[in-house]
Amino acid sequence: MMKNLNILFILLLTVSCADIPSTDKVLNDEDAKILAYLFDETSSDVPSYSYFVIKDGVFEIKSSIGYSDLETSTEATPETIYKITSTSKQFSAMALMLLINQGKLTYETTLTEIFPSLPSYCNTISVRHLLTHQSGLISYYQFIEEDRVRPLSNPEIFDILQSKDSTYFEPGTQFQYNQTGYALIPLIVEKLSGQPFAVFMKDEIFEKLGMNHSSIYDAQKQPKNRARGYLSNKDSTVLNEKSVTSENLGSKGVLPTVADYYKWDQALYSGALLPKNKLEEAFYHWENHQKTTDGGYGYGWYVDYENGHKVLSHYGSTTGFTSQVTRVPELQLTTGVFSNYEVNVRNLIHKTNALTSIYSDYKVPMPIETLMKMHIDNSNIQKAMAVYDKNKNNKKYKYTSTGVSLLGSEYYRHGKIEEAKALYEKSILEHPEDFGGFFGLGRLAKRNGNMEEAIAFYTKVVKINPDNPGLLSAVKRQLSEMKKED
């Protein structure tokens, strides 16, 4: 009887989106305030997001806010189809895992064994290197001409790789998130399966799991109920869902509904696609070909550990769309947000962080910056600082060296300079070993024309030496330019 009542309650929950959804889980006042802030119904006249909590095999939350299509005033629902961008990588990884299980290749198979025409620098790049972003392949963003309009296709990426002669680093020696490796996966699948990538994914994954409304992106075939993509253009919201990388598959390209994603999520427990012992390989960080118990990256999943619980996650952002999914397998908990609004992906990360923490009863702590953000927006920066100091020893919250400075950068992007400055200063006070606060204050000083101060902060960034070659190079270049001007 109780089970039937729970099912009825969940069905009722999916019908109405008028209020912040609640389940039989009783929320305290603070948690209710956080969810009310993050899932604000007053913003329902903008592009949408659909969000969910799956706990113990059922939806605790399955709801949507806003419009999937502003032009036709179509409201989003859990049946809305979204581009989930880089969150697609978990599906692409599964495609290779299925081929490996079928004996058509191994994780150690190299690119030149699959594609003999590739140059010799691909001799040591393995399938596992592609999956774990340890290939060193040149990013496909480096291939794109400034005036290019036509989308970059997967075969074009392959052709350009044939004209290169090296990688960024020796394959297997480091991690560097790289879209190019995943863009090769559809080509591998097509060669070894003899099927178009979209057909393989439909036959081997979507249909087997009953994901009847999911597909691989095809610019010529727009499925019914697909959300249109939007972005902010100064004070307006404009339709914009195409870019030179929008048709790339493998690194992107999966279009599910929330309801279909539930079926995928449950299959990751059951072994419906792969034996569970083989499926588990995806959920570990790898050092070259060695499985580890460290945090890092598996096969299409970021891997982390919180209070002894493994936390798997992925985010995605592209023209017109963003997404974020978090899974805590030991707690049978998955949270996610799919959106047809190109906003900073950290906004979605704040939402999934809060859902994950609250619905795990804080077994997974909430990043303190998520709580701070609520108090900044609802009150002021001083209140947020007081909340930080008050909760320093509260195990419900997570403190990282980068969290507060990244929050500062969120406010900087929105032109809220006072808040950004205070957060950068707080970051330096709490985590002087992190470059983020110094970089932020340097950027603010340069913006205000205070070159002497900017040089001092940027010099500190170089001294700390962030593990970000692109950023470090840019800071050094700006330092050189400012010293000439000074």
Start-to-end C-alpha separation, the chain: 77
Give me the pLDDT at residue 342, please. Answer: 83
Confidence of residue 10 (pLDDT cuts 50, 70, 90): very low
Q: Return d(Cα 394, Cα 359) in angstroms, integer.
A: 18
Computed over every residue of the chain, the mean pLDDT equals 90
Give me the pLDDT at residue 482, please. Answer: 87
- At residue 113, φ and ψ (nearest 5 deg) are -70, -30
- Counting residues of the chain whose pLDDT is more than 70, the rounded percentage is 94
Strand partners, 318: 321
pLDDT digits (tens, 9 = 90+) for 83-136: 999 999 999 999 999 999 999 999 999 999 999 999 999 999 999 999 999 999
Strand partners, 55: 58, 333
Per-residue pLDDT averaged across 153-174, rounded?
94
pLDDT digits (tens, 9 = 90+) for 277-322: 999 999 999 999 999 999 999 999 999 999 999 999 999 998 999 9
Per DSSP, 294 falls in state: S
Q: Return d(Cα 77, Cα 225) in angstroms, integer.
A: 9
Confidence of residue 41 (pLDDT cuts 50, 70, 90): low
Buried b (16+ CB within 10 A) or exposed e, 274-299: beeeebebbbbbbeeeeeeeeebbbb
Per-residue pLDDT averaged across 380-399, rounded?
95
Give me the pLDDT at residue 486, please. Answer: 63
| Window from 13-22, 233-242, 249-258 with minimum mean pLDDT | 13-22
Confidence of residue 15 (pLDDT cuts 50, 70, 90): very low
Beta strands (DSSP E) in 301-343 are: 302-306, 309-318, 321-328, 333-339, 341-342
Describe the chain by its helix, strand, coil percentages, rounded to 5. 45, 15, 40
pLDDT digits (tens, 9 = 90+) for 196-245: 999 999 999 999 999 999 999 998 888 989 999 998 877 788 898 888 88
Which residue in 314, 186, 337, 327 sits closest to 258, CA to CA?
A: 337
48 touches 68 (CB < 8 A): yes
Which of 267-274's residues contact partners 24+ apart within 8 Å by CB, and which partners? 267/209, 268/327, 268/329, 269/329, 269/332, 272/208, 272/209, 273/94, 273/98, 273/204, 273/205, 273/208, 273/209, 274/94, 274/97, 274/98, 274/101
pLDDT surpasses 90 at 465: no
Residue 447's alpha-carbon distances to 14, 92, 326, 374, 455, in angstroms, are 47, 42, 37, 27, 12
Higher pLDDT among residues 26 and 432, named by residue: 432
Positive or negative, the CA dihedral 349, 355, 285, 115 is negative
pLDDT surpasses 60 at 459: yes
Confidence of residue 19 (pLDDT cuts 50, 70, 90): very low
Give me the pLDDT at residue 156, please. Answer: 94
Give me the pLDDT at residue 16, please. Answer: 34
One-letter amino acid for residue 324 of the chain: Q
Confidence of residue 142 (pLDDT cuts 50, 70, 90): confident
Give me the pLDDT at residue 17, please. Answer: 35
Q: Return d(Cα 127, Cα 189) in angstroms, integer.
A: 12
Give me the pLDDT at residue 14, please. Answer: 37
Confidence of residue 145 (pLDDT cuts 50, 70, 90): confident
Per DSSP, 84 falls in state: -
Give me the pLDDT at residue 24, please. Answer: 57
Q: Return d(Cα 212, Cα 262) in angstroms, integer.
A: 12
pLDDT digits (tens, 9 = 90+) for 406-444: 999 999 988 999 999 999 999 999 999 999 999 999 999
| Predicted model pTM | 0.90
Place of tokens 């480096």: 142
Confidence of residue 176 (pLDDT cuts 50, 70, 90): very high
